[in-house]
Structure 1
């Protein structure tokens, strides 16, 4: 799907972020440094990664700058409150950049970190896919920890099946 209108994109992207925020809100602080095995992203790493990539890779390259993403470790933010603050702060910084784009800007090219030219609207679409990908990983992490997670779109699969059986 081609993105041709920044206002519509920002509304859509806001809904993507609302779903991510609903999931992050149920993370128990005691699990922020948990990973399913050594050497893999922790829950906090996942959250910092979404924020840092949005701001320092996607937003910077859309501006015509080089990618300045440099990882997602604890040096960026440590502890539950600090990680959430970092996540929100980097999102607001990126949004300010995205809000400055015109509909015409969506059709120009920017360079990925691999120096491949890409149309800005396609790069924005990739950014949303990236967030959704990491949100899915957070769902799996939390399910492994038996943390009840919010359904994506209202009802869970089990609730839909139950409703169909009760008719």
Structure 2
């Protein structure tokens, strides 16, 4: 079942990676037509708030996309508009999700594709969606030469070196 505590942990892991995006690379993409760093961050924020946040309340999706005009990069004072957008929409979404009763989590909502699904399962899908895009952020940061921390404390090499047994 969906848990607000688990949402908080997933979001914290993603936000740690978002904070690694270099200021000069906010609108960089690995290929024309692909997500930029900023586009991914705005997408995560917008999908969480305007698609999941609306549909769990029985309303249609209002997802506005991920265009830079929603929250463009950094202003002259160094204020990160994209991060502020991400944080603001997450706070709004979290408040919606925290207010869902056990009955509502067990009730059905409708996805933008028209498929009925229980609210709890729909919110679990949201967490999988976030993990997918977090992986993109990790890969894009690697392409830009930005060191990233291991997701759960150990690298795969450290896990292998601490693992015993025959292969």
TM-score norm. by structure 2 comes to 0.91
Matched, 1:17 2:14: no
The residue correspondences of 1:1-167 to structure 2 (distance < 5 A) are 3=1, 9-80=3-74, 81-162=80-161
SS in 2 for 1:75: helix
SS in 1 for 2:70: coil
Structure 2 unmatched runs, 5+: 75-79
What does the per-residue CA deviation read over 1:86-115, in whole Å, with 9 as the maximum and x for residues that have no partner? 000000000111111111111101011112
The aligned length equals 159
Mapped partners of 1:72, 1:129: distance in 2: 19
Change (3 A) 1:161 1:66: same
Structure 1 unmatched runs, 5+: none
Q: 1:162 Cα shift?
A: 4.7
TM-score norm. by structure 1 comes to 0.91
SS in 2 for 1:12: helix
SS in 1 for 2:69: coil
